[in-house]
Structure 1
């Protein structure tokens, strides 16, 4: 479980989560996977790397007033444990991978929803609301792209 004290701690945890997901998708891809699943996992690994870099840039260049905002209570989401507990096996289907993506995106959305609820500063709440919306849009985009890949 992670301890969050400031907005920047939640942002950093999001960044670590995307790095963990990138590693997970790369690890799954090292198992004997179907070609389409391998293509999807390559795409997901690159996507998670981009998301991690985006949060890193925000961490470095974001408004210090917002990033240093203290939170009264911490979000109660442990995505790291979910990542560590993900079963990895050969022969995963596109649907299996899509299920993982949906679960992880839902967990990130819940993390940001809870974080938004735990801050009284409107600008900090807006950051978390925006991150939650972005995760929702990314989830829909990935699922759509994965379904197109499955139809190939």
Structure 2
């Protein structure tokens, strides 16, 4: 069993968002026009989330970032990205399904981090991130539906 600090867990999520943005950009070059619009939207969305997380990490007090977790998530949180690269979406529905699977992985990750939080402050950070991710999922659904209307 590996250990990691709160900072490490947050950096894994930031990396997840950056890799997801890169993946969506990569996949956009391999598909049809309407799917390209969705993947471009998803890529920009992931970059924004990664930037927000980077700012959050920079704003948090060092003592919160140094809290220890008993489990390292660095490999399993990135696994769905590797799977998506091996089996890229072929149409709009599959691309949207991929986005929801990736969001689901983050929601699962945040829930685990809430349960394992070494402090009340760290727990609150992950509760807030969970709430934000749920709002982002709703925003994603509205954005995707607007693309379907085009």
TM over 0.5: yes
Which residue does the alignment assign to 1:11? 10
- Distance in 1 of aligned mates of 2:64 and 2:77: 23
> 1:73, CA displacement in angstroms?
3.8
Contact 2:3 2:70 in 1 (8 A): no
What is residue 148 of structure 1 aligned with on the other side?
Answer: 146
Deviations 1:28-86 (A, max 9, x none): 1011x222211111111111111111111112221212111112344597131211111
Match among 12, 33, 36 for residue 35 of structure 1? 33
Mark the runs of 5 or more structure 1 residues left unpaired by the alignment: none
Q: Distance in 2 between matches of 1:105 and 1:147?
A: 17
What is the DSSP-based 3-state SS (H/G/I as helix, E as strand, rest coil) of the residue aligned with 1:116?
helix
Which residue of structure 2 aligns with residue 139 of structure 1? 137
For residue 67 of structure 2, what is the aligned residue in structure 1?
69
Q: Is the 8 A contact 2:2 2:70 kept in 1?
A: no
Whole-Å separation in 2 of the counterparts to 1:106 and 1:30: 25
**1:132, 1:101 → 2: CA distance?**
16
List 4+ stretches of structure 1 deviating above 2 A. 72-77
Show the 5 A alignment for 1:87-98. 87-88=87-88, 92-98=90-96
Alignment length (residue pairs): 148
Aligned to 1:20: 19
TM (norm. structure 2) is 0.90
Matched, 1:103 2:115: no
RMSD value over aligned CA atoms? Answer: 1.9
Are 1:122 and 2:113 counterparts? no
